[in-house]
Amino acid sequence: MDTVMVQKRNPLKGDLDVEVVVVGGGLAGVLTGYMLAKKGIDVVILEGNRIGSGQTGGTTAKITSQHGVIYDKMIQIYGREKAKHYAGFQEWAVGEYERVIEECRIECDFVRCNGNLYSCEGTETLKKEAEAAAGLGIQMVYRKECELPFPVKSVLTYENQARFHPLKFLKGVSEKLRIFEETKVKKVVYDGEGRSRVVTERGTVTAGKIVFACHFPFVNMPGYYFARMYQSRSYVLALKGAQELDGYYLGIDSNGYSFRGEGDVLLFGGGGHRTGDFKEDRKSHDAGYEGLANKAEEMWPGAQEMSRWSAQDCMTLDGIPYIGKFSPGRRKGWYVATGFGKWGMTQSMVSARIISCMIEGMEVPEADVFSPQRPIPMLGIREFSVNQKEAVKNLASTRHTKRCAHMGCKLAWNPEEGTWDCPCHGSRFDRDGKLLDGPALESLKE
């Protein structure tokens, strides 16, 4: 945000009638709008704040098919064919970023580099993942050492991945799009005949197709995404004088860290937790920003902290995004892109391709693995039970007076950032009750 000035757009003024309206001006929404506009479709993007002001502005911007330890598990749950569909889309997305950047002549610090998973505890997990990834056509190398400042037992290197400056890219790819900023959507009304009205505080946009690319869908029914996802926060320090890395690393152990080089600056991340989960026994010295700062001083004494920030990710029941039709037959022309986990860069590009093709009327059979209507595996049923238990606990509690404006869950105080966070669905408010993150649409009334 300090190194790029994105063009400011005007708010909506009055009513519009268009073919497609995209709700959300982050990377997923802008890329979807970009692909639709290239097809000659009349599309507008509505953003409640500034484009890129949400999770896109807080990402560490890894463009990669390396999404943690996922492929071995995916093959076991969904089979090799669907796992290959997932991997194929991610590999395509890395190359598509490079193609769009060249086509639009966008200066955004795009660099091809390696993406690495590492473990300090064992070798078996990454060996299995290496075998699974290789079987799906992903180029990677298994090894037992790397450049990190501590000993590791195994490293899995995915070759020819990439990194970039997400806001510089967003600025370039959005230049010719029709975008209205500071235009918060209040509700969406479906007329039952394939048309919908997107009601904002500045006017109403009527369209035959709607894309919900607003991080966490604020429409509760149909879709029930509030019951099928939770949100997770993670923390990052930007350090100078620490260590220069060409690629990036992600620890797969329970206390693993994230490392991402950017010239002479190192982005050092970790200490993540479910949004709103601040246990009484959680000590400030080993969690969040302070935990990262202490660890950084231990590894690189004297390194200078340039800045710190956090981001929030939507986590699905099985670790795979929900991309496609919003609900089965209930809302004709509604589409959704959500649940990207920690991998919003490639998933944004993937969702833009899938949804733009669907809107154009093209079949995308390989998108079956992302379908929001896919059957829930046993792993997902367990996650669903945990989510519902957390929601019931916080809805039923009478010990706290501050309640979320979304569904009334008890809010938890976030001492790291001075905010009120919802442990049910991840809405966040500042200390005075002003809305920071959805799915809530309103600030607190208290």
pLDDT single digits (tens) 404-415: 888 888 898 888
Would you put residue 135 in left (φ > 0), alpha (ψ -120 to 50) or beta?
alpha
Q: Do residues 190 and 413 make contact, with C-beta atoms less than 8 angstroms apart?
A: no
pLDDT of residue 305: 95
Segments of the chain with pLDDT less than 70: 279-286, 378-400, 446
Side-chain-side CA neighbours of residue 5 (13 Å): 1
Residue 114's SS3 state is strand
Of the candidates 66, 109, 110, which has an alpha carbon nearest to the alpha carbon of residue 90? 66
Residue with tokens 């590894």: 299
> What residues have CB less than 8 Å from 160, skipping those under 6 apart?
94, 112, 114, 139
CA distances from 90 to 63, 196, 370 (A): 9, 32, 12
Per residue in 253-266, pLDDT (tens digit) is 988 999 999 889 99
> How buried is 219 (Cβ within 10 angstroms: 0-12 exposed, 13-18 middle, 19+ buried)?
buried
How far is Cα 446 from Cα 444, in angstroms, rounded to an integer? 6
Question: Token digits for 273?
Answer: 């937790």
How far is Cα 264 from Cα 40, in angstroms, rounded to an integer? 42
What residues form DSSP beta bridges with 62? 163
pTM of the predicted model, to two decimals? 0.90
How far is Cα 133 from Cα 141, in angstroms, rounded to an integer? 10
How far is Cα 419 from Cα 435, in angstroms, rounded to an integer? 10
Per residue in 366-379, pLDDT (tens digit) is 999 999 999 887 66
- The DSSP symbol for 404 reads -
H/E element, 337? strand 334-338
DSSP string of 137-201, one letter each residue? T--EEEES--SSSS--SEEEEEEEEEE--HHHHHHHHTTTS-EE-S--EEEEEE-SSS-EEEEET
> What residues have CB less than 8 Å from 22, skipping those under 6 apart?
29, 32, 33, 36, 43, 44, 45, 46, 210, 211, 213
Gap between the terminal Cα atoms of the chain: 32
SS3 content of the chain, % helix, strand, coil (to 5): 30, 30, 45
How far is Cα 140 from Cα 419, in angstroms, rounded to an integer? 41
pLDDT of residue 285: 46
pLDDT of residue 410: 87
pLDDT of residue 281: 43
How far is Cα 358 from Cα 338, in angstroms, rounded to an integer? 16
Cis peptide before 166 (omega within 30 of 0): no
Domains, the chain, with CATH or none: 16-59+168-228+319-370 (3.50.50.60), 109-163+230-312 (3.30.9.10), 378-437 (no CATH)
Give the CA radius of gyration of the chain: 21
Of the candidates 6, 365, 292, which has an alpha carbon nearest to the alpha carbon of residue 177? 6
CA distances from 217 to 22, 98, 221, 338 (A): 12, 29, 10, 7
How far is Cα 371 from Cα 361, in angstroms, rounded to an integer? 16
pLDDT of residue 388: 56
